[in-house]
Amino acid sequence: MSKKKIGADKPKLYELERISDRITFLYLEHAKINRQDSAITVTDVKGVVYVPAAIISVLMLGPGVDVTHRAMELIGDSGTSVVWVGEFGVKQYAHGRSLNHSSSLLENQAKLVSNTRSRLEVARKMYQLRFPNEDVSGYTMQELRGKEGSRVRRVYRQESKKTGVEWTRREYNPDNFEASTPINQALTAAHQALYGLSYSVIAALGASPGLGFVHTGHDMSFVYDFADLYKAEFSIPVAFSVVSECADGDISRRTRLAMRDSFSDGKLIKRMVKDLKYLLNCSDINETTDIINLWDDKLGLQKFGVQYHEMEDDSQ
């Protein structure tokens, strides 16, 4: 009798779009991570849990995590984005390689962000998604920032009124999570979960987290750009809802679980994939997947894996 295999099969590169069908994220801390077949094994004082690697979008590794080389091999093969985070999942320290081996989306992103006119067009497209009933094509960046600031403040006030949670202002100390108010703790945890999912989609499709159009100068600039599209609909309402139900206890954990449920119910990953391709003007990201060429300024793309010899001088 053959041994039953645990976990899902490794996805192929052409199955990249399946990221839209994955669950959102899994946060782990104080656990030993290994693998068995195609499953990640998570072991702590409560026992062992098997998690099929190919169904996770992003794995958030918190303090006290011990992960084996074999587990990371499986995670990498499965195209799961790995993010090493701080306590409560509120700081992001490092991340791993994505599933997509094509540079087409990244090249398109670099072209768009390197030209002032095209960069402004993409930034306006981002704001247009937030103001669907208003034409923002004639607004400057300063005007757009002002409109967005007013919109977010209005969302805070609406959620405060709806849930009864008192609201004054946004406060966030990355070095002291527990020093802020319950609602600010919840907002921080909710936003970080959204950043993790945003990074996962960006990396999985082969774009750069650092090449932002609105935010700039940081290796997560585009993640902040992208996540801002969904805060008013997901992380802000979830944070206020969590605090209204329970203003004490493990707010960070409660918020992460609520965000996970919100992502799943709203089919956010599928929407993010569509929005990202729209913003970067790339309808087919798989066209040149796993193909490597050599660039030449005169001859165009040349074959990779060919031994090129120095051209002989016929005059000698």
Residues 83 and 189 both lie in one domain:
no
Residues 171 and 242 both lie in one domain:
yes
pLDDT over 70 (residue 140): yes
Per-residue pLDDT band for 228 (boundaries 50, 70, 90) equals very high
Residues 127 and 87 both lie in one domain:
no
Residue 287 within a domain: no
Tell me which amino acid residue 161 is.
K
pTM beyond cutoff 0.85:
no
Total tally of structural domains belonging to the chain: 2
Range of the domain at 177: 104-279
Collapsing DSSP states into helix, strand and coil, what is residue 104?
Answer: helix
Q: Which residue has the higher pLDDT, 249 or 134?
A: 134
pLDDT tens string 243-288: 998 866 788 889 988 998 888 766 788 889 899 999 998 866 554 4
Residues 235 and 158 both lie in one domain:
yes
Residues 51 and 172 both lie in one domain:
no
Residues 112 and 190 both lie in one domain:
yes
Provide the mean pLDDT of the chain.
81
Q: What is the pLDDT of residue 301?
A: 65
Collapsing DSSP states into helix, strand and coil, what is residue 227?
Answer: helix
Range from 29-38, 58-67, 109-118, 303-312 carrying the lowest mean pLDDT: 303-312
pLDDT over 80 (residue 35): yes
Cβ count within 10 A of residue 46: 8
Residues 51 and 133 both lie in one domain:
no
Tell me which amino acid residue 238 is.
V
Residues 168 and 215 both lie in one domain:
yes
Residue 298 within a domain: no
Mean pLDDT of 32-38: 88
Residue 5 within a domain: no
Per-residue pLDDT band for 229 (boundaries 50, 70, 90) equals very high
pLDDT over 80 (residue 223): yes
Q: Among 88, 57, 92, 85, which residue's Cα sits nearest to residue 224?
A: 92
Residue 3 within a domain: no
Contacts of 87 (CB under 8 A, 6+ apart): 29, 62, 63, 177
Residue 240 within a domain: yes
